[in-house]
């Protein structure tokens, strides 16, 4: 709104955050708020990366740990831990990240496809790669991160269910 | 006027028209019952007229044309040129059904006309014209002299801005008879220069001549929607009595109110239509202005309290503690009132469901050749809209059953020494936190012998088994149970009471029956006031809190370890009132950490779901709480064993246990 000196090409504004030393970006238009970590209520019968649900002004919103989602080791949660609440359509969900860094402008033309590199990160959740001041930013595809009908969610849920069954 | 997107009003039009049809139907049924109230005919006429006007305005030509014919017939009735008889009422009732179907198709965007509407239209036309021939003698020479109308129609400048279109008027007049334009003129005071013309204003007038024997009311009806938007002079062509000339003044008459109301409604529904622009999407609630006003009042109170509190907070001193307490008290009271007012918005009178029964009973009477007098009580009893929407079908089923199975034929009734007309009573009232709906008939009552025979045949009970009356009554709720000797299209197909019971259960209610042979039966449905708030028992399991709905709890108890028996396969059971109940450990089902595992240190809550009881093992009971139910699916997905979530007093989320789901979960893990 305040940027009336904006250039002709519409820039994509990305909120960047760090996770295990890497820099990621989410489309700022999908970000609803950034809040510090608070205790969540665990939901049974769900994959472990869904930490639980949180009361967000009366809405019961699921919170996902992005480290666990990407198969990384879980960090302890403290005052520095940050949750980014994003919206897909009318659905809200929160992602737990290490730290929020910046809001940057990305030229859509400069976004590169993600090479299949068998990296630490599952590339299914990335829209592309961008460079900002000589740093690489991985652009997150939030829609793919939490789809209830996602087959993969089901697969991830299976071990948890089996655990229950073994326990019983 | 093309700038106005009329489609945004379509939903309002459909809602209003359907309401109008309900009103027509109700009035027709009253007429049928022998009531000769002239006001009833007017009610029917007005409803038809509004639908016609709306349909024409919004371009539903077929609906408008059909309603027009029905309206003409009604006009004949209204002016007492045609008598009300059973044939007429039946035809009009069928027209109401037909219009309902046409409106449904219109709202779904399907083609509207069909063979049935055409057949009905022809019948209506026949009745109208057949009567007109005889009518002339009854009405007298004055009306007979009319062979056309001189109409001077002068538009006021704002005519176009009201959504009216002279072309539409001409089209409607043409439908009445041959229309000639005698003269077109520019009104006085119109701008002289082209540059001064406001394209949204109308500066024209028309002198028209309508030929043919057209009832004056039909001509008036065409201009009804223009009341206040034009100057109108209508004279008979025959130049007979000058007194017949009428000037429809620009003052707002009674017919102007529908238009005003329409725009007010449109405004009221607009916030909703922003998110759901298509007519078929999402439901809407009509809320009384008084309820909205109450909300606004409460909001005002809340804002005042908030500013008072923040004022205290700005420069707080200990001396102000009293004021702070007072403010908080006020806040608490206002919040509670606000909560109640908001809940009240969802509450709707059960009358909207009851209203469909007069028609249903009317149709069933004919079909089954029985005589029924229907009594409705407590139509004003309010319950949650969601509950209301889902209770309609079970109620229809019970009413059908009562007439089909319960009430006897007039001959049988006479033989039994009862009045030939059976009585069916529907009653709704509040009892505690529940709504009770009763359907009672004075028919034959449940046929005990037939039920027992059928149950034996189905193998539900053994031969020679003695059953109490209550147990016999319970049998009719078994799946696939029907005693009707042959299936009619009304009832007796065996999909019956079990479905009713399941539907009512889904709403968190219960249904039961009391019956006295020869005196009749009474079905009683008990429903919660709302699905949005439940009473729950807060239980602790490890670090976590789970809420168990109070309605499903039978008892909670602490068990000594020696009362628990292990059975093969690792399951645990305990003895409770002459039966062995399985124990479901909630910490196992939900994989909770840090929970109590020794039976004697925790609590077993006996819960009942679908007539089966289980013991739910939890750490502790923390107390009772009202829970505002929030769906997990809104932002996440369905989770087995959890029916929803709620916000507890510390602001955190607590999950509500779905008792049925937990039982299934436990069964599945046992099976594995």
- Would the pLDDT of B88 be above 90? no
Which among A86, A67, A73, A74 is positioned nearest to A28, based on CA atoms?
A86
pLDDT in tens, A120-138: 556 677 888 888 888 888 8
Share of chain A above pLDDT 90, in %: 18
User: B505 CA to chain A: closest CA distance, Å?
Assistant: 25
Cβ A59–B635 below 8 Å, yes or no?
yes
Lowest pLDDT segment from A137-151, B84-98, B294-308:
A137-151
With contacts defined as CB-CB under 8 Å, which chain A residues touch B640?
45
- Would the pLDDT of A62 be above 90? yes
With contacts defined as CB-CB under 8 Å, which chain B residues touch A156?
none
Q: What is the pLDDT of residue B470?
A: 72
Lowest pLDDT segment from A155-159, B75-79, B168-172, B317-321:
A155-159
User: B636 CA to chain A: closest CA distance, Å?
Assistant: 6
- Would the pLDDT of B396 be above 70? yes
- Would the pLDDT of B540 be above 90? yes
Tokens of B542: 């490890």
Whether B223 and B51 have beta carbons less than 8 Å apart is answered as no
pLDDT in tens, B138-158: 333 333 445 778 888 888 777
Lowest pLDDT segment from A65-74, B104-113, B567-576:
B104-113
Lowest pLDDT segment from A93-102, B82-91, B229-238, B441-450:
B229-238
**Mean pLDDT value across chain B:** 77
Which among B422, B371, B360 is positioned nearest to B393, based on CA atoms?
B360
Tokens of A40: 């969540």
Cβ B636–A160 below 8 Å, yes or no?
no
pLDDT band at A155 (very low <50, low <70, confident <90, very high): low
Cβ B588–A59 below 8 Å, yes or no?
no
For A75-102, what is the mean pLDDT? Answer: 86
* DSSP state letters, A44-95: TTS-TTEEEEEEETTEEEEEEEHHHHTTPPPPPP-TT-EEEEEEETTEEEEE
pLDDT in tens, B577-611: 888 888 999 998 898 888 888 888 999 999 886 66
Residues B380 and B377: their CA atoms lie apart, in Å, by 8
Residues B279 and B273: their CA atoms lie apart, in Å, by 8
pLDDT band at A16 (very low <50, low <70, confident <90, very high): very high
For B182-208, what is the mean pLDDT? Answer: 79
Cα torsion B16, B21, B254, B57 to 10°: value is 60
Rounded to 10 deg, the angle between the B289-314 and B321-346 helix axes is: 160
Residues B185 and B193: their CA atoms lie apart, in Å, by 16
Nearest CA in chain B to A47: B639
Rounded to 10 deg, the angle between the B497-506 and B385-401 helix axes is: 170
Whether B175 and B68 have beta carbons less than 8 Å apart is answered as yes
Cβ B647–A55 below 8 Å, yes or no?
yes
Tokens of B315: 């420069």
Share of chain B above pLDDT 90, in %: 7
With contacts defined as CB-CB under 8 Å, which chain A residues touch B653?
40-41, 52-55, 60
With contacts defined as CB-CB under 8 Å, which chain B residues touch A45?
590, 639-642, 665
pLDDT in tens, B410-427: 888 888 888 888 899 999
Question: Which H helix or E strand runs over B61?
Answer: helix B61-78
Sheet order of strands, B620-628 included: B620-628, B533-541, B544-549, B653-657, B642-647
- Would the pLDDT of A142 be above 80? yes
- Would the pLDDT of A153 be above 60? no
* DSSP state letters, B399-455: HHHIIIIISPPHHHHHHTTS-SSEEEEEEEEEETTEEEEEEEE-S----HHHHHHHH
User: B509 CA to chain A: closest CA distance, Å?
Assistant: 26
DSSP summary character for residue B74 = H
pLDDT in tens, B494-505: 447 878 888 887
Q: What is the pLDDT of residue B487?
A: 41
Residues of B with CB under 8 A from a CB of A: 544-545, 570, 588-592, 630-632, 634-637, 639-642, 645, 647, 651-655, 665-666, 668-670, 672
Nearest beta carbon to residue B635 from set A93, A160, A165: A93
Nearest beta carbon to residue B588 from set A46, A52, A167: A167
Q: Best of B582, B635, B646 to disrupt the A interface by mutation (most A CBs within 10 Å)?
A: B635
* DSSP state letters, B251-297: S--TTHHHHHHHHHHHHHHHHHHHH--STTSS------HHHHHHHHH
Q: What is the pLDDT of residue B251?
A: 35
Nearest beta carbon to residue A92 from set B635, B639, B647: B635
Whether B529 and B384 have beta carbons less than 8 Å apart is answered as yes
Nearest beta carbon to residue B635 from set A41, A52, A60: A60
Q: What is the pLDDT of residue B285?
A: 74
Cβ A168–B570 below 8 Å, yes or no?
yes
Q: Which residue has the higher pLDDT, B664 or B249?
A: B664
Tokens of B116: 């049935």
Q: Best of A43, A44, A85 to disrupt the B interface by mutation (most B CBs within 10 Å)?
A: A44
Cβ A60–B666 below 8 Å, yes or no?
no
Q: Which residue has the higher pLDDT, A27 or B251?
A: A27
Nearest beta carbon to residue B634 from set A40, A43, A59: A59
Residues of A with CB under 8 A from a CB of B: 39-46, 50, 52-55, 58-62, 90-93, 148, 160, 163-165, 167-168
pLDDT band at A95 (very low <50, low <70, confident <90, very high): very high
For B343-349, what is the mean pLDDT? Answer: 81
For A142-151, what is the mean pLDDT? Answer: 65
Nearest CA in chain A to B671: A165
Nearest CA in chain B to A160: B591
Lowest pLDDT segment from A42-46, B13-17, B33-37, B632-636:
B33-37
Cβ A164–B588 below 8 Å, yes or no?
yes
Tokens of B431: 């009892």
Cβ A53–B632 below 8 Å, yes or no?
yes
What angle is formed at CA B271 by the lines to CA B269 and CA B277, rounded to 5 degrees?
Answer: 80
- Would the pLDDT of B409 be above 80? yes
Q: What is the pLDDT of residue A158?
A: 59
Cβ A164–B669 below 8 Å, yes or no?
yes
Cβ A165–B652 below 8 Å, yes or no?
no
Whether B533 and B450 have beta carbons less than 8 Å apart is answered as no
With contacts defined as CB-CB under 8 Å, which chain A residues touch B635?
59-62, 91-93
Q: What is the pLDDT of residue B199?
A: 78
For B274-295, what is the mean pLDDT? Answer: 63
B/e letters for B80-101, b = 16+ CB within 10 Å, e = fewer, are: ebbebeeebeebbbebbbbbee
Regarding an ipTM greater than 0.85, the answer is: no
Q: What is the pLDDT of residue B275?
A: 35
User: B645 CA to chain A: closest CA distance, Å?
Assistant: 7
Nearest CA in chain B to A86: B635
pLDDT in tens, B436-492: 899 999 888 887 888 888 778 777 777 667 777 777 777 788 776 665 544 444 444
Nearest beta carbon to residue A44 from set B631, B637, B641: B641
For B110-124, what is the mean pLDDT? Answer: 76
Q: Which residue has the higher pLDDT, A142 or B610?
A: A142
Cβ A45–B640 below 8 Å, yes or no?
yes
Residues A156 and B610: their CA atoms lie apart, in Å, by 32
């Amino acid at each position: 709104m305040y940027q009336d000196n904006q250039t002709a090409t519409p820039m994509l504004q990305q909120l960047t955050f760090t996770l295990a030393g890497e820099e990621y970006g989410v489309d700022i238009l999908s970000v609803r708020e950034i809040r510090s970590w608070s205790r969540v209520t665990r939901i049974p019968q769900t994959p472990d990366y869904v930490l639980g649900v949180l009361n967000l002004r009366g809405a019961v919103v699921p919170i996902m740990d992005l480290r666990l989602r990407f198969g990384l080791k879980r960090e302890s949660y403290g005052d520095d831990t940050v949750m980014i609440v994003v919206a897909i359509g009318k659905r809200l969900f929160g992602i737990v990240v290490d730290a929020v860094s910046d809001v940057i402008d990305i030229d859509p033309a400069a976004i590169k496809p993600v090479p299949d590199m068998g990296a630490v990160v599952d590339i299914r959740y990335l829209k592309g790669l961008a460079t900002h001041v000589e740093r690489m930013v991985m652009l997150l595809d939030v829609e793919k991160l939490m789809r209830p009908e996602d087959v993969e969610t089901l697969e991830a849920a299976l071990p948890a269910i089996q655990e229950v069954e073994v326990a019983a | 006027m093309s700038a106005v997107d009329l489609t945004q009003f379509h939903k309002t039009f459909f809602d209003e028209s359907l309401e109008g049809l309900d009103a027509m139907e109700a009035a027709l049924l009253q007429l049928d019952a022998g009531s000769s109230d002239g006001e009833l005919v007017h009610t029917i006429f007005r409803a038809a007229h509004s639908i016609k006007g709306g349909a024409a305005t919004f371009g539903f030509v077929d609906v408008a044309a059909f309603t027009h014919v029905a309206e003409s017939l009604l006009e004949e009735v209204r002016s007492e040129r045609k008598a009300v008889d059973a044939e007429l009422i039946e035809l009009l009732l069928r027209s109401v059904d037909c219009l309902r179907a046409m409106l449904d198709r219109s709202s779904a965007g399907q083609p509207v006309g069909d063979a049935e509407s055409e057949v009905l239209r022809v019948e209506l036309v026949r009745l109208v014209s057949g009567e007109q021939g005889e009518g002339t003698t009854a009405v007298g020479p004055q009306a007979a002299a009319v062979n056309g109308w001189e109409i001077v129609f002068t538009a006021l400048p704002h005519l176009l801005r009201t959504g009216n279109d002279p072309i539409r008027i001409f089209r409607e007049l043409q439908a009445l008879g041959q229309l000639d334009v005698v003269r077109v003129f520019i009104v006085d005071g119109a701008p002289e220069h082209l540059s001064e013309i406001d394209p949204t204003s109308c500066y024209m007038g028309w002198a028209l001549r309508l030929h043919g024997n057209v009832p004056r009311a039909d001509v008036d009806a065409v201009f009804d929607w223009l009341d206040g938007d034009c100057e109108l002079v209508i004279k008979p062509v025959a130049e007979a009595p000058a007194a017949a000339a009428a000037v429809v003044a620009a003052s707002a008459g009674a017919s102007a109110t529908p238009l005003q109301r329409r725009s007010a409604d449109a405004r009221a529904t607009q916030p909703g239509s922003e998110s759901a622009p298509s007519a078929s999407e999402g439901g809407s609630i009509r809320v009384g202005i008084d309820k909205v006003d109450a909300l606004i009042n409460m909001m005002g109170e809340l804002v005042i309290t908030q500013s008072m509190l923040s004022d205290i907070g700005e420069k707080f001193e200990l001396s102000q503690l009293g004021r702070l307490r007072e403010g908080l008290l006020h806040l608490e009271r206002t919040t509670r009132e606000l909560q109640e007012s908001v809940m009240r918005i969802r509450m709707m009178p059960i009358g909207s469901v009851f209203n469909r029964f007069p028609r249903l009973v009317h149709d069933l009477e004919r079909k089954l050749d029985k005589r029924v007098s229907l009594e409705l009580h407590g139509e004003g009893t309010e319950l949650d809209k969601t509950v209301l929407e889902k209770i309609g079908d079970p109620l229809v089923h019970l009413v059908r059953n009562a007439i089909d199975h319960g009430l006897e034929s007039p001959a049988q009734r006479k033989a039994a020494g009862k009045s030939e007309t059976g009585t069916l009573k529907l009653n709704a009232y509040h009892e505690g936190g529940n709504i009770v709906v009763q359907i009672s008939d004075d028919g034959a009552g449940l046929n005990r012998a037939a039920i027992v025979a059928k149950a034996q045949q189905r193998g539900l009970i053994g031969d020679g088994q003695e059953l109490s009356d209550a147990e016999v009554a319970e049998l009719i709720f078994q799946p696939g149970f029907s005693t009707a000797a042959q299936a009619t299209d009304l009832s007796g197909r065996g999909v019956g009471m079990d479905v009713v019971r399941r539907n009512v259960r889904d709403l968190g209610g219960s249904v039961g029956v009391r019956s006295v042979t020869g005196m009749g039966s009474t079905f009683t449905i008990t429903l919660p006031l709302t699905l949005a708030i439940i009473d729950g028992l807060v239980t602790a399991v490890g670090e976590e809190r789970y809420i168990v709905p109070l309605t499903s709890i039978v008892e909670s108890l602490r068990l000594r370890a020696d009362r628990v028996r292990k059975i093969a396969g690792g399951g645990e059971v305990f003895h409770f009132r002459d039966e062995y109940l399985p124990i479901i450990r909630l910490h196992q089902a939900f994989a909770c950490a840090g929970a109590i595992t020794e039976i004697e240190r925790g609590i077993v809550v006996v819960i009942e779901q679908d007539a089966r009881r289980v013991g739910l093992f939890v750490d502790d009971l923390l107390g009772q709480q009202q829970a505002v139910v929030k769906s997990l699916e809104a932002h996440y997905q369905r989770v087995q064993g959890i029916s929803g979530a709620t916000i507890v007093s510390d602001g955190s989320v607590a999950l509500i246990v779905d008792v049925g789901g937990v039982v299934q979960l436990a069964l599945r893990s046992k099976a594995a």
